Structure 1
Amino acid sequence: MKVTIITVVFNGAATIRDSIESVLNQTYPNIEYIVIDGRSTDNTADIVRSYGSRITRFVSEPDKGLYDAMNKGLRLATGDVVGFINSDDFYKHNQVVEKVVRLFETTDCDGVYGDEIYVNPVNTEKIDRYWKVGEYKEGAFLWGWMPPHLTCFIKRSVYEKLGGYTLELKSSSDYELLLRFIHKNKIKLSYLPEVTVAMRSGGVSNATLKHRWRANREDRQAWRINGLRPYFFTLLLKPLRKLDQLLPKF
């Protein structure tokens, strides 16, 4: 099974080495690694090029934002399974892809997801939040559930059938895509019950109240785009679930 991993970046020179090396150090051998750069103005491109042919494909050109860049990566992907890791984030250990592939092979699923931690942007050993997701149950999106986007590995055939990221949304296109794939079209999921991704705290989706308000409006739009109706409390529960992520996990 061939796995494509895509990193999208814009001016990520300070952190992208962590992302790249977390991919290149994976024990699973059959990985296609694509990096999509939005024509960075720092030395991101030089850092990426320094890895030479270990990065399968590198594109550096202007884009229309994060989700446009992700769609570019999807169009270039040739793997059976596709995963994303952004330039601020990294895989928690070097057996993530190996374990993900094992689940695909043993459960015949369409997608695999795991747990995620948010770490201090400077001291990445310091955990700010722990997103322990749990097994998916049908209808869970109605109760504010979603898997961490970057922990998701999904068969490329699903993207080909159901489409990529909508550019109608600025911060919730990943939520819309997972809502469409999992809740609406009921792809078969498998859960890897361990931390697979570390995300640096402070990204746009986790920032100010203004961003959270916009994200909530976009989450509502995601349901409308798909012709779906949430419960009246669905989109209130989604951010409230983050409170549990602040509690210690044992």
Structure 2
Amino acid sequence: MGNKLLISVITVCYNSEKTIRDTIESVLNQTYSNIEYILIDGNSIDNTVDTIKLYENKFKEQNITYNWISEDDKGISDAFNKGAKLANGDYVIFLNSGDYFYEKNILKDLFQNCKEDFDIVTGKVKIIGKNKQMPKNVKTSMMKGMPAHQATFISKGIYKKIKYDLTYKIRMDYDYFLNVLRNKTNLKIKFIEKKVSFYGIDGISSNNYFNFHKEGFKISKKYNVKYNYSHLFKDTIKFILGFN
């Protein structure tokens, strides 16, 4: 592939037969030519693994490395760590089941002629008719909340040094980003004015409001950063009104 950067796309899933196909096809249909795709399944008992197997030949035809495992794990953080350990790419992005790339040229647009060496490249996600956008001062934003991991590419070098904390079952990405800030100085971060992916709202963080904020508060305290209570208020109202 010459000097093209290798992009590792990792999907973690469990009993995802209803959503995994869209995620897989969004990777398969990318026009960028240097991708590896890794799926980490938590030993699903539905048809998720059967669906994963169906795509093996299709990825082979596209000359895309397609690597998957299905086994018990210790939660999402453990699955993330397994995927990162298997990744060989210059950059790694987690695109979980139910998420999918915004359009087929997004990786090509971002990395076809990329020669700059950034630690983190982050953009926008589309969430059910809304834009989730990180301000250009990403480092400040990471202290307040976090970039969307479905739109964030992190260098493999960081994943070699920093792992996801198995203590956290929902906000492991929030903890991870803050841990990166704490442990790596002079981060080179690039914000891109593009939507990278669609974010599925049926994930664990969207359906566990109180535990979501409980972990978020604990993590904020751990790193001595201010927690965003406005989200707590909004989610509490949603819960009371039954908007789950």
Band the TM-score falls in, shorter-chain normalisation: 0.7 to 0.9
Structure-1 residue corresponding to 2:62 = none
- TM-score (norm: length of structure 2): 0.83
Scaled by the length of structure 1, the TM-score of the pair is 0.81
Instruction: Provide the alpha-carbon RMSD of the alignment.
Output: 2.3
SS across alignment from 1:56: strand
Checking the alignment, whether the CA contact within 8 Å between 2:138 and 2:191 is kept in structure 1 is no
Q: 1:140 to 1:239 in 2, by over 3 A?
A: same
Q: 2:224 aligns with which of 223, 229, 232?
A: 229
2:163 is aligned to 164
Q: Deviations over 1:136-156 (max 9, x none)?
A: 2544444x2421112111110
SS of aligned partner of 1:179 = helix
Preserved CA contact (<8 Å) 1:138 1:183: no
Check conservation: 1:141, 1:183, Cα contact below 8 A: no
Letter in 2 for 1:219: I
What pairs up with 1:108-187 in 2 under 5 angstroms?
Answer: 108-119=117-128, 127=129, 129-142=130-143, 144-161=144-161, 163-182=162-181, 184-186=183-185, 187=187
Q: Which residue of 1 aligns with 2:78?
A: 68
Alpha carbons 2:138, 2:189 under 8 Å: kept: no
Q: Distance in 2 between matches of 1:85 and 1:147?
A: 14
TM-aligned CA distance change 1:131 to 1:242, over 3 Å: farther
Query: What are structure 2's unaligned runs of at least 5 residues?
Result: 60-64, 236-244
Instruction: Give the aligned length.
Output: 224
TM-aligned CA deviation for residue 20 of structure 1: 0.2
For 1:56 and 1:38, the matched residues in 2 are separated by 17
Structure 1 residues 218, 197: closer, same or farther in 2, change over 3 A?
Answer: farther
- Retained in 2: the 8 A contact 1:166–1:173? yes
- How far did 1:210 drift? 2.1
Runs of 4 or more, structure 1, over 3 Å off, are 137-142, 240-243
Asked if 1:197 corresponds to 2:189, the answer is no
Shift of 1:30: 0.7
Query: SS state of the match for residue 227, structure 2?
Result: helix
Residue 66 of structure 1, CA deviation: 1.1
SS of the residue corresponding to residue 135 of structure 2 reads coil
Answer whether contact 2:9 2:37 (CA < 8 A) is retained.
yes
Asked if the contact 2:23–2:99 (Cα under 8 Å) also holds between the matched residues in 1, the reply is yes
Q: Which ranges in structure 1 are unaligned for 5 or more consecutive residues?
A: 120-126, 244-250
SS of equivalent to 1:235:
coil
Contact preservation (8 Å) 2:7, 2:90: yes
Does the 8 Å contact 1:100/1:112 carry over to 2?
no
Q: Return the alpha-carbon distance in structure 1 between the equivalents of residues 21 and 209 of structure 2.
A: 30
In the alignment, structure 1 residue 88 sits paired with structure 2 residue 94: no
How many Å apart are 1:202 and its aligned residue? Answer: 3.3
